[in-house]
Structure 1
């Protein structure tokens, strides 16, 4: 009788083991079928959400945190503005779909009204390396975006990108290599064009105007 019971238990274990093996085999087969199914849409690559640029700085009573998040070519720009005496609060302005790379950040008071502005200099990717500026005037009631139409619409015949931006003598300065007509784009030259911009208040807004 004991031998008979042991025989039944052994058969039951073998049956359970066989069933488990069959289930594993079927699962592997289903996974392989899904992998080989060319009609299924490809799995999208995960979006990069880490900070690709970050800079913290202060100016008078203000503190600023400038950062970008996103993939290699298209990012969101975050400009945080707070008070140096209160590290628990910071208001953040978001500029979406910024293309290219951040080339620098400057905080200044170009119009000498006692309130700072923050300027973020951006350089596009590719062969052009065209420059763009994102600017904000900081006020007690909030931040106002600066109109940069004069910078964005530059169409001089000697302009082929490769901008540099900096602040000098209460002006925003833009320089770029000036190319003559017929010169190859890869040609390097020591001749640089300089354009100076002043911050001008127009109505309730602000704009960067080039000096003629």
Structure 2
């Protein structure tokens, strides 16, 4: 009886050990789950911009309560020069992305914060700063002109290309909920000169297509036709008259010859 009892215990332990080994194998084969870093309140957004080794910008947004408004925070760490500065400002909406550029190629980095606005007029808001010797110089980002804004309904795509700040968005036809995409896109290029933005449109879209003007009908020159007909008629008359004169002369010659023959007889 005791031998059977010990045998059952040994068998159960063997089965349990085998199950544990299989569970360990399953756990080892499962891919690790990568979790997004949790941003501690009251912060909502964080992105690190490394301009050069030892020259970093930490861009954050923060605020408790309403998600529609808040503040942005730019922490500049210049570890080589042992300088640390803070730049802050009011934020309308939420941060979408942050860009680094040197549009005027003066060696001073520009930090551009793209925020999604809460209103349906501007849609996108850009907060721009140029950092010189650790000091932040605020730059006024230009609003769209009436021509640039025609057919605009948001969905902006910002990116850096060859040192310039590019903005691309689809064009819509109509107003309100009835507006439909035309399939065309508008591309704007932003630069920086004397701490002021320059902007130019680098693509043609449906709003710039010129209307085709129909050519006026070619008028038939009836005077020329009449003159040509008259000339042909005059020429024909002259030819006929000349032919009649030639025929009359021949007839006279024959008559004269006949007269000479009668005299000889």
Is the TM value for this pair above 0.5? yes
Q: 2:51 aligns with which of 47, 59, 67?
A: 59
Q: Structure 1 residue 80: deviation in Å?
A: 1.2
Per-residue displacement from partner, 1:21-74 (whole Å, max 9, x unpaired)? Answer: xxxxxxxxxxxxxxxxxxxxxxxxxxx951111111210252101001113110
Provide the rounded CA distance (Å) in 1 between the counterparts of 2:46 and 2:97: 10
> Per-residue deviation at 1:182?
5.5
CA gap 1:185/1:103 in 2 versus in 1, 3 angstroms: farther
- Residues 177 and 192 in structure 1, CA contact (< 8 A), matched pair in contact too: yes
Whole-Å Cα distance in 2 between the matches of residues 183 and 50 of structure 1? 36
Report the equivalent of 1:171. Answer: 164
The alpha-carbon distance between structure 1 residues 185 and 117, as it changes in their structure 2 partners (threshold 3 A), is farther
Maintained 8 Å contact 1:129/1:162: no
* Bigger proportion of residues as strand: 1
How much is the aligned-residue C-alpha RMSD, in angstroms?
A: 2.5
Q: Using the alignment, how far apart are the partners of 2:134 and 2:83 within structure 1?
A: 15
Q: TM-score, normalised by structure 1?
A: 0.65
Structure 2 CA distance for aligned equivalents of residues 84 and 179 of structure 1: 48
1:77 aligned partner = 72
Question: Could you list the runs of 5+ residues in structure 2 that have no partner in the other structure?
Answer: 1-39, 202-265
1:210 aligns with 2:199: yes
Describe the superposition over 1:171-197 as per-residue Cα deviations: whole angstroms up to 9, x where unpaired. Answer: 111111111245855634542211111
Offset from partner CA, 1:126-163 (integer Å, 9 cap, x none) = 65671111111110051101121x2x244322112222
Q: Is the aligned partner of 1:91 residue 2:69?
A: no
Structure 1 stretches of 4+ moved >6 Å? none
Radius of gyration: which is bigger? 2
| Structure with the higher helix share, 1 or 2 | 2
Extract unaligned runs of 5+ from structure 1: 1-47
The count of aligned residue pairs is 157
